[in-house]
């Protein structure tokens, strides 16, 4: 029987995060996913306050929440740039920094950062998003090196095009069809397909994969 662990997932109420939360609960884990009133990832002060007041010490941390502000280079407002970096990069850093100590003490921990295929390639209008997710990949690799001696494994996954609210929000029907046409498998991923791999990475079955940035994209990046 798998060991029951405590897991913290950001953005766990919809899309990929919800699928991960449901699967981990089905696997017997205790899962917490704070809403924005408890933890506003766009505000570093809110993250720090949450960490100061929380007694939850997770064995598993999944930084899933993401923000994408679509704008050209020349018209991107500084506040939008900062908001995207706060949610996608600064908040994961603060959460990892705060939670790594207890994981090291227990000599067991699993951290998965949900990055994006747009951290490897990009697309017009995704300046802040691509920059933040590329930074998240670097954070993943360095954290993995520092935490490896303590049996804390840190990885990132890079989903391609997934059937989520964010995809529908940022693309109209014609654009979604164009995305589908770029995927060799001929379809967008379902959130539970992404969740299945995350569940493996945070399980006791994963004993040797760390520091990796792994695309899950239906072959998109092979072209």
What three-state secondary structure class fits 4?
A: coil
- Alpha-carbon distance of 202 to 24, in angstroms, equals 9
Query: Active-site residue numbers?
Result: 129
- Alpha-carbon distance of 43 to 18, in angstroms, equals 22
Of 130, 67, 54, residue with least CA distance to 95: 54
The answer to whether the CB of 24 falls within 8 A of the CB of 7 is yes
Of 176, 197, 166, residue with least CA distance to 13: 166
Q: What spatial distance separates the first Cα and last Cα of the chain, rounded to whole Å?
A: 41
């Amino acid at each position: 029987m798998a060991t029951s662990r405590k897991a913290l997932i950001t953005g766990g109420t919809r899309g990929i995060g919800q699928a991960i939360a449901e699967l981990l609960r089905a696997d017997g884990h205790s899962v917490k996913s704070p809403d924005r009133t408890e933890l506003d990832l766009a505000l570093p002060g809110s993250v720090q306050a949450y960490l100061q007041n929380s007694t939850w010490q997770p064995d598993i941390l999944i930084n899933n929440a993401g923000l994408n502000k679509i704008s050209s280079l020349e018209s991107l407002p500084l506040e939008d740039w900062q908001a995207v970096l706060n949610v996608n990069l600064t908040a994961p850093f603060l959460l990892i920094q705060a939670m790594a100590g207890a994981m090291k003490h227990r000599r067991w921990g699993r951290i998965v950062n949900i990055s994006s295929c747009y951290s490897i390639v990009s697309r017009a209008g995704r300046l802040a998003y691509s920059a933040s997710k590329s930074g998240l990949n670097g954070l993943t690799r360095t954290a993995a090196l520092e935490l490896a001696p303590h049996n804390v494994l840190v990885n990132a996954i890079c989903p391609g095009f997934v059937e989520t609210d964010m995809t529908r929000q940022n693309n109209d029907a014609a654009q979604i069809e164009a995305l589908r046409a770029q995927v060799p498998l001929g379809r967008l991923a379902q959130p539970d397909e992404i969740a299945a791999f995350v569940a493996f990475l945070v399980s006791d079955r994963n004993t040797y994969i760390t520091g990796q940035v792994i695309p899950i994209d239906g072959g998109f990046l092979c072209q």
